[in-house]
Structure 1
Amino acid sequence: MAQAALKQVIRTALDEAVDWKRISYLLHLSRALDELEETRLVPEKKLHYQFSARGHDMAQIVLGSLLTDRHDAVCGYYRSRPLLLSLGVDPADALGSAMGRAGGYSDGRDIGVTFNYPNPQGPSALPMSGGVGTQYTPAAGWAQSIRYYGEVLGEPGYERSIAVACGGDGSVASNGFWSALTIATTQNLPMLFYIEDNGFGISVPSSMQTPGGNIAANLSAWRNLRILQGDGCDPAETARLMQQAVNEVRCERSPVLLRLSVPRLQGHSFQDTQAYKSEDVVRSEWARDPLPRLRNHIVPAVLSEEEWEETKLHAMQTAEAARIEAESRPIAAPESVTRHVYFEGEMPVVGGLQGHGALLPATTETAQGEGQRISMAAAIRRTLEHELSVNKRVALFGEDIGRKGGVHAVTLGLQQRFGAERVFDTSLSEEGIVGRAVGMALAGLMPVPEIQFRKYADPATEQINDCGTIRWRTNNRFAAPMVLRMPGGFLKTGDPWHSQTNEVAFIHQPGWKVAVPSNATDAVGLLRTALRGNDPVIFFEHRAMLDHVWARRPYAGDDYALPFGQANLTRHGDKITLVTWGAMVHRCEEAVEGISADVIDLRTLMPWDRQSVLASVRRTRRCLIVHEDLGTAGFGAEISAVVAEDAFMYLEAPVSRLTMPDIPSPHQRALLDWAVPSVAKIRAKVETLLQF
């Protein structure tokens, strides 16, 4: 009897802390929006992607109602609309975005179920992605930024802030989930993992995602992780567990995983007939519908029968009004679709240094050009050191970059000077490195993640792609500027794993800028521009040039910055134009000794200085493009196409390329020397073209 009385006291206390009237309204609203889409908008072909949240909705709304801190952030997935409604998203934005209308989440650029909600004065919904599991590591990055703002920057107001990642049971098999789990538990971050387990990943049962179909049970021995689980259809239990989970993260400043069992009452999407479920399974799921359970829980204790019906009617009216408003919205002007791929002078609502109030020193395009010549590695290190000293929002991280100083020694000594909170090692997960950086960048920091070798970026491809498109697909509501440092290319030998260049892959990722310095001066200028900029940048550090004698230059100065898209004419002549970058610049210079030739070091490949190239070719009437990457679909093909299209009438010889053959980088030195464009091969190609 005493135990029953205690449970009632606890239940009463929880009920008083939860606004059940608002939750019931939002639950009815979510159902009304689902029904409008299913019965009208999809059949009328006004909407093409529809994911019902029935069954998941009540628990999400309870969670959203508990996210009250200004710096809270949540990253959900395609079934998270009820959560967004609870944060304050306009239902007309929700429907309008689903219909691809102007305004809303993306101005019609993205599918309407990939939500975002910038809210500088309250909890934000970070930009969601269409990829399963991609929400976890950015949320971990946001959680780390919460600690960073409080402990490193000493800013008040972050003492109870948390980050939340929501995902279905299918997502727990993803790299992103495990990477974020490692980050949160090794760093003891204020992060909540909320797993909505409906038993199916589309048609695949949970037992195929994790042994036994219960991720909470499997993680019971995971260190530094509090595990909670229960029934997401029971209002009282849902409220109790949600409050416990959120409060533990807020108070203990450590991660919690909450798994709630919920039914997915409709198919994975509108087109999914659920033929893979038996009738018994479908009946059992509908028997767990949280809507009637909520009614039984709060009527008449909180709402009268009349009030319940009035709430339902009000929600239906709101949904219909939202539909009318959404359908009245125009389609965005088609020509506007090319805007906001890169920063255009207008700050996003959330993300980036300047958008979050950072004040940066002035720069100059004039290099000092005096003093001792230093290696490119030393120049990069010195630039990073200075930017760390003048901007406390800069943070460096990656595998082995801390005490070891990086496998290329570029970050040597930086952790000792700036501390392990600002220069730190990470677990061996490129997905985690880049995804974490995304969350930190969204929070207004300047993350400088390092991928040890170009080839190692492949596991992070999804995060790299998603990061580059954030500004565009949210129509400048969010942006995630960062500098992704990436060594690559041959050294004394090559191999298929450490010597890849393949810069063209990043040029084909919209939203990223790509820098490929060939020497210490350019490395300083381009890196400083990137570190103070508003776009994500791939900063490619060629292994052969980090300590190459030719690449050594005097330190260009603490204020030196180079604009992107401005090539360097390293040699001037009138017989032929050589276009190149990275390690091939000095080889091209040697190859044209005694020949009147322009040698153009592009320095950046996105954007690239096509005007300088075209002006030179129109004057010399011959063009040779030299690069280390493979020939087929290499970036030289793009340059060649532009020259052929815009300077064809000036040419006295075919536009030509000299590249590696279409093979991985070979290891044996003799094989490597044969494959990579050499001084002798470049000169021979030049002489052939001069004979036309």
Structure 2
Amino acid sequence: MSVETIDQPTETLRDTVTPGGTDWRRVAYLTLLSRALDEMEETRLIPAKKIMYQFSARGHDMAQVLLGLKLDRPQDAACGYYRSRPLLLALGVDPEVALASAMAREGGYSGGRDIGTVFNFPNRHGASALPMCGGVGAQYTPTAGWAQAIDYYRTVLGDASYDGAMAVVLGGDASVASNGFWSALTIATTQKLPMLFYIEDNGFGISVPSSFQTPGGDIAANLASWRGLEIFDGDGTDPAEAERLVEAATEHVRGGQGPALLRLTVPRLQGHSFQDTQTYKSDALVSAEWARDPLPKLKAHLVGRVLSQGEWDAIEREAGAAAEAALVAAEGRDVAPVESVLRNVFSETGALQEMGGQWTKGYVAPAASDVVEATVGQRINMVTAIRRTLDHELSINPRVLLFGEDIGPKGGVHAVTLGLQDKHGSGRVFDTSLSEEGIIGRAVGMAIAGLMPVPEIQFRKYAEPATEQINDAGTMRWRTDNRFAAPMVVRVPGGFFKCGDPWHSQTNEVAFIHNPGWQVAVPSNAEDAVGLLRTALRGNDPVIFFEHRAMLDAAWARRQYPGDDYALPFGKARVTREGDDITIVTWGAMVPRCEEAGATAAEGGRSVEVIDLRTLMPWDKAAVLASVRRTRRCLIVHEDLQTAGFGAEIAAVVADEAFIDLDAPVVRLTMPDIPSPHHPALLDWAVPSVAKIAAKIDELVGY
């Protein structure tokens, strides 16, 4: 039975809706439904091994329902955590779907791909639940991104339907110690975003007391002097107080007064999860927690005031019957076909996600071509090529927006975005706080909201604090079974330049490739940079766009601008030098070195073919294998470290699929397994040089 299908006589509804707008009958029904589902899982489904993970919401439930019923606009969104099922029921999630998800059945939140409590809810009729992340605190910055998207739609795009919309993030008291919480708090308050932080303080993070998470165990008190943040604090088990605080907090945010933090103290009446025996709590503490159970308080608040005892009993029976009906329906669902787990890693033709990305908002990419315009123009460097492409796409697509540290008036530390804020405004090209977690996390929320965010990570090494958000964004389509996706283009400069160092010169592209769901582009020249960037900006998948520092202004990398319609497909390599004796597979800054080594080898009678992969996910296996089967030799050259570098994947594929065609071993030439050295002499020795490449060519051809 769907929560949305329950009809009541008009008289009853009128009587149970108080002047504050709270439908107490609905609150009672949803709280009792949540309790019935928890009890069913704990006493029947877990013992029967039909559920593998269970997180009881008992104690948290009533306040969540009060909050969820305030989220009634299509532009609202909420993101919670394991104990957020009461909120989901209030948003309209069918209890059958909730139970089917808990049992990992087909058609649930993820179709059995993810833990059953890891939810998502693309709601076409009201507020959506953003895809939950499994890491503590990872929900904060994507919610801040949704809040910033509300502001963008309203102020930049002039969409009045976003007036008064809000984003709500739920977190426990332990989550306030996370990087994500503080990053989102900074974003929301400095930008005055319509965002509500709802902290459910039950006193524990699994077994660790809240005093270990924040001094004194009270985040509301500690944030009392935080500028731009309105604080609401109280008892989440008292129906009247919880109603008042929820109403005040949501009115504050909807009224355009900036973000708010609502801290409600609640008891966690069961363990962190079903397996948690709570032995770290004394008997007296457990008894004190049960004495604060909000359900008896809710009943006392309603019976005799807005409901009779008979009406309460009827509601309880109704909720129990709905839970039983949901269980029957959920158990009737099959497990998803096992081979289906291979689908929806990337976008698929004819299978558009329900929510997220500009395509779901009606975006249609302009006509494009992989043919360079015939007009002759000045050769431009890669910096200018990238800037011109960003400028053009900003001009024709209002959903594109650029942000990162120093990309505004300064134009980026590599000058790629120079002048773009002056032309397109600070609403579309803007600086951010110094938090890579915040940069990528907010991009996730913006992407889900239908924008095309283009965040910049200043240098490759600086992406490490954003690792969790990068992983969560890439896996979103798969783990929600194509319900949600977060297409974006993350610009990442990196690699050596005139010198190196362990902090600014790292490449390590393989780490991005090992995050499922991300496409990875590594252009070696200005023309390819234009074509790949344009494809990424018009696409429907998240993309890492790697801008090699050594190529940004290199003379070799300069090309004529290929035109505003020029776009290249991902997974299509380019043969930059044809040959018959050996195939060199490479990308990025190694391409010109391999070409030069090939020319040197040609003087000695060696015929060298050089393949520039251009994209590493996907990579052009067919082109590499066809070339190797013809030349019968393969040398892989890359700047990244050798051990577990992407060259190892290429070598394995060549060995697997073209072994009998080889006349020599597959060889990799890379940096040694060390960070990038700083002094130019040390760097030149470590990075594959033209001479070293030429020597390897001679060695393999003469094998």
TM class, shorter-length: over 0.9
Number of the residue aligned with 1:662: 673
Number of the residue aligned with 1:168: 172
Aligned-pair CA distance for 1:14 = 5.5
Number of the residue aligned with 1:474: 480
Aligned-pair CA distance for 1:120 = 2.5
Aligned-pair CA distance for 1:681 = 0.3
Aligned-pair CA distance for 1:362 = 1.1
Q: Is the 8 A contact 2:598 2:609 kept in 1?
A: no
Looking at structure 2, the residues matched to 188 and 320 of structure 1 have their Cα atoms a distance apart, in angstroms, of: 45
Q: Is the 8 A contact 1:623 1:655 kept in 2?
A: yes
Number of the residue aligned with 1:619: 630
1:337 corresponds to which letter in structure 2?
V
Query: Which of 514, 536, 543 is the aligned partner of 1:537?
Result: 543
Looking at structure 1, the residues matched to 226 and 364 of structure 2 have their Cα atoms a distance apart, in angstroms, of: 42
Looking at structure 2, the residues matched to 665 and 79 of structure 1 have their Cα atoms a distance apart, in angstroms, of: 45
2:584 corresponds to which letter in structure 1?
L
Number of the residue aligned with 1:35: 39
Q: Is the 8 A contact 1:120 1:349 kept in 2?
A: no
Alignment of 1:361 with 2:369, yes or no, is no
Number of the residue aligned with 2:233: 229
Query: Which of 465, 488, 505 is the aligned partner of 2:511?
Result: 505
Deviations 1:431-473 (A, max 9, x none): 0000000000000000000000000000000000000000000
Query: Which of 83, 87, 90 is the aligned partner of 1:83?
Result: 87
Number of the residue aligned with 2:224: 220
Number of the residue aligned with 1:549: 555
1:356 corresponds to which letter in structure 2?
K
Deviations 1:262-284 (A, max 9, x none): 00000000000000001111011
Alignment of 1:281 with 2:281, yes or no, is no
User: What SS is found at the alignment partner of 1:420?
Assistant: coil
Matches within 5 A, 1:142-541: 142-345=146-349, 346-368=351-373, 370-541=376-547
Deviations 1:567-622 (A, max 9, x none): 00000010000000000000000001123111000000000000000000000000
Q: Unaligned 5+ residue runs, structure 2?
A: 1-15
Query: Which of 126, 130, 136 is the aligned partner of 2:130?
Result: 126
Number of the residue aligned with 1:52: 56
Deviations 1:335-386 (A, max 9, x none): 1111000000221111011111123321111112631000001000000000
Looking at structure 1, the residues matched to 445 and 320 of structure 2 have their Cα atoms a distance apart, in angstroms, of: 36
Looking at structure 2, the residues matched to 659 and 673 of structure 1 have their Cα atoms a distance apart, in angstroms, of: 12
Aligned-pair CA distance for 1:121 = 2.8
Q: Is the 8 A contact 1:394 1:447 kept in 2?
A: yes
Deviations 1:397-452 (A, max 9, x none): 00000000000000000000001110000000000000000000000000000000
Looking at structure 2, the residues matched to 17 and 504 of structure 1 have their Cα atoms a distance apart, in angstroms, of: 54
User: What SS is found at the alignment partner of 2:677?
Assistant: coil
Moved more, 111-120 or 530-539: 111-120
1:622 corresponds to which letter in structure 2?
R
User: What SS is found at the alignment partner of 2:160?
Assistant: coil
Deviations 1:113-162 (A, max 9, x none): 11100013310000001100000000000000001111111112111100
Aligned-pair CA distance for 1:252 = 2.5
1:142 corresponds to which letter in structure 2?
W
Looking at structure 2, the residues matched to 669 and 468 of structure 1 have their Cα atoms a distance apart, in angstroms, of: 36
2:290 corresponds to which letter in structure 1?
W
Number of the residue aligned with 1:74: 78
Query: Which of 13, 22, 25 is the aligned partner of 2:26?
Result: 22
Q: Is the 8 A contact 2:34 2:61 kept in 1?
A: yes
User: What SS is found at the alignment partner of 1:127?
Assistant: coil
Query: Which of 89, 111, 124 is the aligned partner of 2:115?
Result: 111
Q: Is the 8 A contact 1:51 1:79 kept in 2?
A: yes
Alignment of 1:598 with 2:609, yes or no, is yes
Q: Is the 8 A contact 1:73 1:125 kept in 2?
A: yes
Number of the residue aligned with 1:5: none
Q: Unaligned 5+ residue runs, structure 1?
A: 1-11
**Sequence identity (%):** 71
Aligned-pair CA distance for 1:16 = 4.7
Looking at structure 2, the residues matched to 610 and 253 of structure 1 have their Cα atoms a distance apart, in angstroms, of: 54
Alignment of 1:575 with 2:586, yes or no, is no
Spell out structure 1 runs of 4+ moving beyond 2 A: 12-16
Deviations 1:12-36 (A, max 9, x none): 9955510000110110100000011
Looking at structure 1, the residues matched to 479 and 185 of structure 2 have their Cα atoms a distance apart, in angstroms, of: 27
User: What SS is found at the alignment partner of 1:164?
Assistant: strand
2:352 corresponds to which letter in structure 1?
M
Looking at structure 2, the residues matched to 597 and 620 of structure 1 have their Cα atoms a distance apart, in angstroms, of: 9
Looking at structure 2, the residues matched to 121 and 489 of structure 1 have their Cα atoms a distance apart, in angstroms, of: 47
1:509 corresponds to which letter in structure 2?
N
Q: Is the 8 A contact 1:365 1:561 kept in 2?
A: yes
Q: Is the 8 A contact 1:14 1:239 kept in 2?
A: no
2:345 corresponds to which letter in structure 1?
V
Alignment of 1:94 with 2:98, yes or no, is yes
Q: 1:15 to 1:58 in 2, by over 3 A?
A: farther
Aligned-pair CA distance for 1:629 = 0.3
TM-score by length of 1: 0.98
Looking at structure 2, the residues matched to 322 and 254 of structure 1 have their Cα atoms a distance apart, in angstroms, of: 40
Matches within 5 A, 1:134-145: 134-145=138-149
1:33 corresponds to which letter in structure 2?
L
Aligned-pair CA distance for 1:253 = 4.3
User: What SS is found at the alignment partner of 1:314?
Assistant: helix
User: What SS is found at the alignment partner of 1:592?
Assistant: helix
Matches within 5 A, 1:622-641: 622-641=633-652
Query: Which of 63, 66, 73 is the aligned partner of 1:62?
Result: 66
Looking at structure 2, the residues matched to 339 and 680 of structure 1 have their Cα atoms a distance apart, in angstroms, of: 45
Looking at structure 2, the residues matched to 283 and 199 of structure 1 have their Cα atoms a distance apart, in angstroms, of: 15
Q: Is the 8 A contact 2:385 2:561 kept in 1?
A: yes
Q: Is the 8 A contact 1:486 1:538 kept in 2?
A: yes
1:522 corresponds to which letter in structure 2?
D
Q: Is the 8 A contact 1:207 1:213 kept in 2?
A: yes
Looking at structure 2, the residues matched to 360 and 665 of structure 1 have their Cα atoms a distance apart, in angstroms, of: 40
Q: Is the 8 A contact 2:30 2:319 kept in 1?
A: yes
Number of the residue aligned with 2:4: none
User: What SS is found at the alignment partner of 2:116?
Assistant: coil
User: What SS is found at the alignment partner of 1:647?
Assistant: helix
Q: Is the 8 A contact 1:230 1:259 kept in 2?
A: yes
Give the number of aligned pairs.
681
Q: What value does the CA root-mean-square deviation take over the aligned residues?
A: 0.9
Aligned-pair CA distance for 1:193 = 0.3
Alignment of 1:561 with 2:552, yes or no, is no
Q: Is the 8 A contact 1:89 1:117 kept in 2?
A: yes
User: What SS is found at the alignment partner of 2:122?
Assistant: coil
